[in-house]
C-alpha cells in the first residue's frame, strides 16, 4: 500500500476539483497546468545529454526535479520534463518552466526569472516560492549538464594523454 504522500507524488492521491481551486483565487493558468501538467516524467540521469536539477523548499515541503535534454551540436534544449511533490502552484510552475526551456539555448534559459513565471501564472504572494523553485531547478539542471560535459571533457583529455 502506498502512503498518502506516495500517492500524491504519483498523482494518485485525493485531487481537488479545478472549480474548488479556482474558487480560492488561483488564476486559470495555474488550474490548467495543475489539471493538465505538461512534460511530466523523467529521463535517465546518467545520460550525458541530460541535466538534472533537484531543488526543495524545507519551509513548505515542495520538492521539484526538472530535467533537460540538450542537443550537443546545437546547444539547444530539445526536451524537458519534471516531477514535483508539492502544491498546485509548484506543479504549475514546473510545468511552465519545462515549456519555456524547450528549443532555447542554455544561455537563454538562465535568463528565465521567477518573477516572469509568477507573473505568467498570476501567483499570489504567498506562493512566490514556487516560481523561485522553478528558476532554481532550471539553473541546477543547466549546472548539472555543464558539469557532466566538463567531466566528459577531462576524461577525454586524460585518455588522449594515456595514448601519447
Asked about 87 being catalytic, the answer comes back as no
145 SS3 class: helix
What is the greatest pairwise CA distance in the chain? 69
Residue of 101, 130, 138, 140 marked active site:
130
Residue labelled with grid coordinates 485531487: 15
How far is C-alpha 84 from the chain's CA centre? 8
CA pair distance 130, 134, nearest whole angstrom: 7
Residues 45/38/121/52 CA torsion (nearest 10 deg): 0
Residue of 9, 60, 128, 132 marked active site:
60
Asked about 60 being catalytic, the answer comes back as yes
Joined grid coordinates for residue 143 = 549546472
Ranges of beta strands (E only) in 9-141 are: 50-57, 62-70, 77-85
Catalytic residues: 60, 130
Amino acid at each position: 500500500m502506498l502512503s498518502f504522500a506516495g500517492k500524491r507524488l504519483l498523482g494518485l492521491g485525493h485531487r481537488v476539483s479545478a472549480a474548488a481551486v479556482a474558487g480560492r483565487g488561483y488564476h486559470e493558468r495555474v488550474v490548467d497546468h495543475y489539471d493538465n501538467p505538461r512534460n511530466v516524467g523523467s529521463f535517465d540521469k546518467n545520460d550525458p545529454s541530460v541535466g538534472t536539477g533537484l531543488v526543495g523548499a524545507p519551509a513548505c515541503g515542495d520538492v521539484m526535479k526538472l530535467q533537460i535534454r540538450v542537443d550537443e551540436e546545437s546547444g539547444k534544449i530539445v526536451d524537458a520534463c519534471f516531477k514535483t511533490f508539492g502544491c498546485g502552484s509548484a506543479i504549475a510552475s514546473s510545468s511552465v518552466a519545462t515549456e519555456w526551456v524547450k528549443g532555447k539555448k542554455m544561455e537563454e534559459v538562465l535568463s528565465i526569472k521567477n518573477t516572469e513565471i509568477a507573473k505568467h501564472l498570476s501567483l499570489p504572494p504567498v506562493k512566490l516560492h514556487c516560481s523561485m523553485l522553478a528558476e532554481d531547478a532550471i539553473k541546477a539542471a543547466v549546472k548539472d549538464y555543464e558539469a557532466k560535459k566538463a567531466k566528459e571533457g577531462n576524461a577525454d583529455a586524460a585518455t588522449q594523454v594515456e595514448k601519447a
